């Protein structure tokens, strides 16, 4: 099926280095597949180390002029980029749907989410204040200014092809940094379109460079950036093992790091919760992007007194979900990204059932729709021995277990190396205070399933990484502080 865009030029087939849309130096290309049909519908350059090097050279050369540009001017460019993203939301949504699989309405929603970060950091660009420090001795003036860290390398995942890269590029540009970026190999087209719109908004040549690379070449590209001392910051969203590798390998050049890594979010429903609100919150959190988000509830823990009533509500909602390709306007859940993703979900369900879990809804692939579709699924009698309790399933499986009291719920919720998001539903204000302190996660939804916002600090603790995206803290990740101590000012001067 042809991909029809109002602006056909937003379907790009080159990558972008130093203001040029170009082929990879080696001339290789690789295909991009539609996960719904598993058919190639586009191709992009397959970069190697030489392209990665050219991108850093360009970003390094562009840095002095970009960081010297008044913050007001950088802010205006970002504001124009935001306007263009909003103007072309339908086309960008179509690109996301085609390469990533999510339904069009959800994909357009992702564009709005991406744009919200650009709008936010357009405003933050002009608020990178320093500080005046009361001098402890006479005759000195002590201040601290904030400076851009320099060239940033951004490596982004496939699950949100627009939002994840926007929330790295926007603060970096706002801070006065230049970038080299590599989108996920499965979903580079949205990122390329975003860059084309950034160019149209006035981002100068060399400031933002984006190279596309296949799974086979990704490491060669990233290795160049890891080794290059001129790259002063690495920002990555993806799995914990890859994040650990990047942290290790960037140690020799001591880069500043932001790592938004895997999660294993608990979702607790207490006996005093509003069960309909909890079921609605779980649907929003769990089935967004067919369960392929780092903040998805992975373990649903329900108090034994309300377990059956909650599961009944959940099963009714899950059974009513419509699965289909993005071309189906009624579809609420698309395909998973590829066969490996489906195999993992199948393995988790098989393992859970073999260890005593029961399937209350779904449980199987949907080959009639295509090899990457899986039924939205509810499992009960899940326990901590099962693979899906220990690892992110990253698919449309709601895995439910019971607890007897609050202490058990908190202990089980925290019994994971991960600490990205956690959720709980209760109407007891004291319990809200206790759990807000006790749960080990960077983000907590309290009677709320949709927690993501450009205005809030997004990020984890423990094996879910470090660094925050969005909010006023998002800009700090791309800046360092420089202390200025001026002496010889004479008595009474500071």
Which residues here bind ligand SIN, judged by CB under 6 A?
159-160, 163, 237, 260, 293-295, 452, 458
Query: Using CA atoms, how far apart are residues 207 and 168, in angstroms rounded to an integer?
Result: 14
Neighbouring C-alpha atoms within 13 Å toward the C-beta of 394: 21
Closest distance of CB 159 from ligand SIN, Å: 5
Which phi-psi region, left, alpha or beta, contains residue 139 (left: φ > 0; alpha: ψ -120 to 50)? left
Of 401 and 452, CB closest to ligand SIN: 452
Q: H or E element: which one contains 64?
A: helix 49-68
Of 172 and 421, CB closest to ligand SIN: 421
Of 117 and 374, CB closest to ligand SIN: 117
Query: Using CA atoms, how far apart are residues 150 and 332, in angstroms rounded to an integer?
Result: 42
Query: Using CA atoms, how far apart are residues 220 and 455, in angstroms rounded to an integer?
Result: 35
Neighbouring C-alpha atoms within 13 Å toward the C-beta of 82: 21
What residues contact 39, with CB distance under 8 A and at least 6 apart? 33
Closest distance of CB 449 from ligand SIN, Å: 11
Of 17 and 296, CB closest to ligand SIN: 296
Q: Find how far residue 294's CA is from the centre of its chain.
A: 8
Closest distance of CB 326 from ligand SIN, Å: 19
Of 181 and 315, CB closest to ligand SIN: 181
> Which residue number has the CB closest to ligand SIN?
452
Query: Using CA atoms, how far apart are residues 475 and 170, in angstroms rounded to an integer?
Result: 9
Question: 66 by DSSP, 3-state: which?
Answer: helix
Catalytic residues: 260, 294
Closest distance of CB 72 from ligand SIN, Å: 29
DSSP character string of 221-238? HHHHHHH-TTEEEEEEES
Closest distance of CB 293 from ligand SIN, Å: 4
């Amino acid at each position: 099926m042809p991909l029809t865009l109002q602006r056909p030029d937003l379907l790009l087939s080159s990558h972008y280095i130093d203001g040029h849309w170009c082929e990879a130096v080696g001339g290789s290309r690789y295909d991009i597949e539609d996960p719904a049909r598993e058919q190639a519908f586009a191709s992009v350059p397959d970069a190697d180390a030489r392209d990665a090097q050219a991108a850093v050279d360009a970003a390094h050369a562009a840095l002095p002029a970009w960081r010297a540009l008044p913050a007001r001017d950088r802010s205006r460019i970002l504001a124009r980029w935001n306007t263009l993203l909003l103007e072309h939301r339908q086309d960008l949504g179509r690109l996301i749907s085609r390469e990533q699989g999510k339904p069009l309405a959800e994909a357009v929603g992702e564009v709005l989410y991406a744009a919200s970060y650009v709008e936010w950091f357009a405003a933050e660009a002009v608020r990178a204040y320093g500080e005046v420090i009361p001098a402890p001795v006479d005759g000195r003036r002590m201040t601290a200014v904030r400076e851009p860290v320099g060239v940033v390398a951004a490596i982004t995942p496939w699950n949100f092809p627009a939002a994840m890269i926007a929330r790295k590029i926007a603060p970096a540009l706002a801070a006065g940094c230049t970038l080299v970026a590599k989108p996920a190999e499965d979903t580079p087209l949205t990122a390329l379109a975003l860059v084309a719109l950034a160019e149209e908004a006035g981002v100068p040549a060399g400031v933002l460079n984006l190279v596309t690379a296949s799974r086979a070449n990704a490491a060669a590209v990233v290795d160049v950036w890891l080794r290059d001392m001129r790259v002063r910051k690495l920002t990555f969203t993806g799995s914990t093992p890859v994040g650990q590798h990047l942290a290790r390998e960037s140690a020799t050049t001591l880069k500043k790091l932001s790592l938004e890594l895997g999660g294993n979010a608990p979702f607790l429903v207490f006996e005093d919760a509003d069960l309909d609100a909890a079921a609605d919150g779980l649907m929003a959190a769990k089935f967004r992007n067919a369960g392929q988000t780092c903040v998805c509830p992975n373990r649903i823990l329900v108090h034994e007194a309300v377990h059956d009533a909650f599961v009944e509500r959940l099963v009714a909602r899950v059974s009513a979900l419509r699965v289909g390709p993005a071309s189906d306007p009624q579809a609420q859940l698309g395909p998973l990204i590829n066969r490996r993703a489906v195999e993992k979900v199948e393995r988790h369900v098989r393992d859970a059932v073999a260890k005593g879990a029961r399937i209350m809804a779904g449980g199987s692939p949907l080959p009639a729709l295509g090899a990457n579709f899986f039924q939205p699924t509810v499992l009960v009698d899940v326990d901590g021995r099962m693979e899906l309790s220990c690892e992110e399933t990253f698919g449309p499986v709601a895995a439910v277990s019971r607890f007897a009291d609050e202490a058990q719920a908190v202990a089980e919720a925290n019994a994971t190396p991960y600490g990205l998001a956690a959720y709980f539903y209760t109407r007891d204000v004291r319990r809200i205070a206790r759990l807000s302190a006790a749960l080990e996660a960077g983000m907590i939804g309290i009677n709320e399933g949709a927690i993501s916002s450009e205005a809030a600090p997004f990020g984890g603790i423990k094996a879910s990484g470090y660094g925050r995206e969005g909010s006023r803290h998002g800009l700090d990740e791309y800046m360092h502080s420089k202390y200025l101590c001026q002496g010889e000012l004479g008595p009474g001067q500071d």
